[in-house]
Structure 1
């Protein structure tokens, strides 16, 4: 004959099993809350980055029609300074040019947008921006443009003899950034040929 299990032997098992299940459910709840919090932070960061990128795009569109006059730029360095192995810093802004307008950069120097000590960043003038373009953004995007010199307007036109009168054209490079305290920072760069 088999002995029947008594009720007294299994009395505390239900309590232990229910406590273990409660701990497991609590751990799963805390883990899911952490996941939701992380997703919320990521979406907030993407929103900030999107706003900053849109400000850059609006600023770039606003400065584009205003940067195509080489007379607004400071004079370039002497040609010999561009071909030596030294970094000769080309001028930016006043007194020889408008604020944010820079002479052709020396290829031996650190690019201006990568130089933490570069002080030529200028706010995009509010008059250049259509009303309501930036919404509620606190900071205007900043920019600087560089006169890049003459370049061929189409492939190998400079090798034709005689050279076509419209072969060479001016090139301008615009760099624009949007940054605010505790917000995402973005930077755009475009090259223009009038």
Structure 2
């Protein structure tokens, strides 16, 4: 029995001696290193997530702007088709038809009455917050150009009418607005 006790006692005393030396050598550096590593990983993950969210917002805004641009182009095409009619109505400031002297177009950028005074585009454009609209302003009459690029010198004095078309397209949200302008000769 005594041999067994000595072995246990020696083994027990070795364990106690080794454990008595560890607290002096270790001060928690592994725990501190692990915490610093976790903080660095958290910061990297957070910044990557913020970058991804920013890219998603930018892609959504670009999509809205593209939709608004396409809607404004559709309004320009619709206005040009309107001007190709044989007989045009009076340009008196009603129905989106203006005259540069008698009823000029208000500032199109800050004009709050696009919904009521702008002409609505024929047909429906999907996924836009508001259907595109346009206004047409009759400008001056100019002498019609001949075949060589010079004004015609004939006795009938043919004239061409100039029109300014301003179209407004809205994207998927009301904050994405595009205004386009073109000059049309008839």
TM-score, normalised relative to structure 1: 0.66
Structure 2 residue runs without a partner (length 5+)? 1-20
Q: CA deviation at 1:35?
A: 1.1
Conserved in 2, the CA contact under 8 Å of 1:92 and 1:101?
A: yes
Q: When the two structures are aligned, how many residues end up with a matched partner?
A: 159
Bigger relative contact order, structure 1 or 2, given CA contacts below 8 A and separation 6+?
2
Instruction: Pick one of 166, 188, 191 that aligns with 2:183.
Output: 191
Check if 1:30 corresponds to 2:79. Answer: no
Instruction: Pick one of 166, 173, 184 that aligns with 1:175.
Output: 166
Check if 1:100 corresponds to 2:96. Answer: yes
Q: 1:117 to 1:62 in 2, by over 3 A?
A: closer
Q: Which residues of 2 match residues 21-170 of structure 1 at below 5 A?
A: 21-68=37-84, 71-74=88-91, 91-93=92-94, 99-105=95-101, 112-116=107-111, 121-126=117-122, 129=123, 134-154=125-145, 157-158=150-151, 162=153, 168-170=159-161
TM-score, normalised relative to structure 2: 0.69
Structure 1 residue runs without a partner (length 5+)? 1-5, 75-90, 94-98
Q: CA deviation at 1:143?
A: 1.1
Higher helix fraction (1 or 2): 2
Inter-partner Cα distance in structure 2 for 1:10 and 1:166: 104
Conserved in 2, the CA contact under 8 Å of 1:52 and 1:178?
A: yes
Inter-partner Cα distance in structure 1 for 2:177 and 2:162: 27
Q: 1:21 to 1:124 in 2, by over 3 A?
A: same
Q: 1:139 to 1:118 in 2, by over 3 A?
A: closer
Q: Match of 2:11?
A: none
